[in-house]
A and B are shown apart, each in its own frame.
Chain A
Amino acid sequence: MVFPNRLFPTPVAVAVELWDMALHGKLIADLGKTLYRATVAFLIAMAIGTAIGIALGRVRWADRLFASWVVVGLNLPAIVIAIALYIWLGLTETALITAVVLNKVPLVVVTVREGVRSFSRDYDELAAAFRMPFARRLRFIFVPQLMPFVLAAARTGLSLIWKIVLVFEVLGSDGGVGFRVSVFFQFFDITGLLAYTVAFILVVLAFEYLVMRPIERRVLRWRPAQA
């Protein structure tokens, strides 16, 4: 019964493997690499996507001009973008991060654009009535209305970015969780695969509870009922 055992390792075996790879293997280095790529791609994509989203939400002709491009961007297969960029830019860090950013930006754009469109005219009227200057409108009226949408974009965006970073690492990179996973695939090493998956999930959960939730609580504390 060696064969089934190797393909269906016990949780204990996975935990031991995880521990072993963290201490003696490349787990930490791989995680670091993947996290670095995901973080950089995330920050760039959020910044660009939010800016474009605000523009498309506010300026009607811009939206008419670019709305269909956003749809194209949303539906362009991630793998196509990645392969094209790998061919053009080589198997580089820049190509990988650019590919992730290009995949992520349309999603942020759509969410933020929706947010900007939902801005209440009532608050514009209030700002006008009290002659609030632009900087104060930005701070007290625009940004607070936009925040829930930016947070939603961040949350959906992060999950997407984790996943595609890994895929692109499988496709071509010199390390990272995805790269290691493809190595495990070649050796049919399910234990290693699961150990890496667990490590990855732990990081994601830590991020969710130590970063995302506290930020949400702080930014949205004015909301009446929070689940």
Chain B
Amino acid sequence: MATGPGIEIAIRDKRFAPDAPPLFADFRLSIAPETVTALVGPSGVGKSSLLRMIAGIDTAFDGEVRVGGRPAHQAPPPGFVLQDARLLPWLTAIDNIRAVAPGIEDSRALALLDRVGLHGAADSYPHELSGGMQRRVALARAFSVNADLLLLDEPFVSLDRTLVDELQALFIELVEHERPTVVLVTHLVEDAVRLADRAVTLRGRPATIISDIVLDTSRRARTPADHARFAAQIAAAPAQVMG
């Protein structure tokens, strides 16, 4: 069974160019193991950059990001879900999984595809799959690389409402079963209130945390009223003093 790592973020300084204003300055955030944390904020605030630092892809900053006690770039690669499905169109569904997780056994890859509701689609090329099915493959691919740490970068944009509901239900089911640590980047409060245990809202440059809310009702039990309550908290919470 998966056991998600904890994440400790302490960024003293992150900027894209030496003379650019800092994206992050003295930014601290710690993420508990096996939780789903949503990073909410407008585009350009640095959410995706933060995600890439957690992923260990972006190491050009002053400070330290530790995943499970190890520097991020030395930790096992996370399961990443990007904005679009971003499958390699020249590979079948299962080969898309094998391409990023070369050591994976066929049975495990097939089980993951089954898991996301794609039984029998392993040998289909992406163009033979619907948009929703492609996203499912992307989710399975992320789990195949690392079922302990999932990083999702705006995974539900440019999808219609039904598809979003469907994928979010699938996401919740997978998360409750596998218990990974999840960091979800989104500009939509609705995504956060449905999926997250904790919603961290970022604003400004350098980015600061303007609210940090624990969503205490279990995901499955949340009613629309809960969603509205959380959304109001995220929108209105006064900036909290971060330790």
Contact = CB atoms under 8 A, between A and B. Distances in A.
B6 interface: no
B88 A130 contact: no
Contacts of A77: none
A84 interface: no
A104 B17 CA distance: 43
A74 B77 CA distance: 46
Nearest to A144: B90
Contact of B99 (A125, A128, A140, A224): A140
B41 interface: no
Interface string B48-75: 0000100111000000000000000000
Contacts of A130: 77, 80, 100, 145
Most buried by B among A122, A129, A141: A129
A128 B100 CA distance: 10
B70 to A, nearest CB: 14
A123 B57 contact: no
B86 interface: yes
Interface in A118-138: 122-123, 125-126, 128-132, 136
A131 B58 CA distance: 11
- Tell me what chain B mostly uses at the interface: helix, strand, loop, or mixed: loop
A209 interface: no
Contacts of B52: 129
Nearest to A132: B100
Interface string A124-163: 0110111110001000110010000000000000000000
Nearest to B151: A129
A155 to B, nearest CB: 19
A131 B56 contact: yes
A100 to B, nearest CB: 32
B99 A136 contact: yes
B90 A129 contact: no
B40 interface: no
Contacts of A136: 99, 102
Contacts of A132: 99-100
A222 interface: yes
Most buried by B among A131, A141, A224: A131
Interface string A96-124: 00000000000000000000000000110
A109 B55 CA distance: 37
Contact of B80 (A122, A129, A141, A144): A129
Given A123-B88, A222-B91, A222-B127, A129 B57 contact: yes
Nearest to B51: A129
A226 to B, nearest CB: 11
A77 B145 CA distance: 54
B127 A131 contact: no
Contacts of B84: 122
A125 B145 CA distance: 16
Contacts of A126: 82, 86, 88, 100
Contacts of B77: 130-131
A123 B100 CA distance: 12
Contact of B82 (A129, A222, A223): A129
Contacts of A144: 88, 90-91
Contacts of B91: 140, 144, 222
Interface in B97-131: 99-100, 102, 125-127
Pick the 8 closest A-B CB pairs, nearest first: A129-B80, A130-B100, A224-B127, A144-B90, A222-B90, A131-B77, A140-B99, A222-B125
Interface of B: 52, 55-57, 77, 80, 82, 84, 86, 88-91, 99-100, 102, 125-127, 145
13 contacts: A122-B86, A125-B86, A129-B80, A130-B77, A130-B100, A131-B77, A132-B99, A132-B100, A136-B102, A140-B91, A223-B89, A223-B127, A224-B127
Interface of A: 122-123, 125-126, 128-132, 136, 140-141, 144, 222-224
